[in-house]
Structure 1
């Protein structure tokens, strides 16, 4: 695995401007599988067993017909040895629009997020407090915010 592989995959996925089975599977090279026990009336939950070597966990929540504010949410937990540096993310995507620290109610190991806004939604890059210069989590969120 090269240090660039995670960013190449993320760039492809972000560039598609949508969260769909086809976009996720094509960009990440995974096969999504429904997780019925984690699904609910608003979202169907999906995971994958055939993850790339840099990815520890994938959680995709696809909106059902009952959900009107979102297409979905994708959470990617990277392996620490993926080694994607914060400076590499900034070089690729520019300066973030927003910094979101954890709230006091969140667990102490919750990441600090740098948020980038796109027409389709937002992408949040999470960095561990214990290793603030290494990417830990990526969240792609199509939920439309009120203006």
Structure 2
């Protein structure tokens, strides 16, 4: 039997919410982002199942935003630690576990794209590979 893979976006955002109290954690950028700061937007952008028995390796894009560069940088570095610790601890969600995590790129400041950066918005981006398995 081939199992249904866990919802990695849900696993990652749940782990980040638990580890980042007071921070808004979403899968997509909210339209009212100004009122959601500090903000972490995390979602799967690539990856594939690496085993027919249910191991899924996903590339996760994590963007951290705050009203100052210092805050955004600190949030990005803290989000990294929270996510990788959740993988080491095999964070348990509603339909699976995180089981491995590693850096791919970042965190680094991004000064382009939407929403447009400015004196009230600073963003840092990073990519991680996380592995998950179903319950």
Q: What range is the shorter-chain TM-score in?
A: 0.3 to 0.5
| Structure number with higher relative contact order (C-alpha < 8 Å, ≥ 6 residues apart) | 2
| TM-score for the superposition, normalised by structure 1 | 0.33
Q: Greater share of strand residues, 1 or 2? A: 2
| TM-score for the superposition, normalised by structure 2 | 0.35
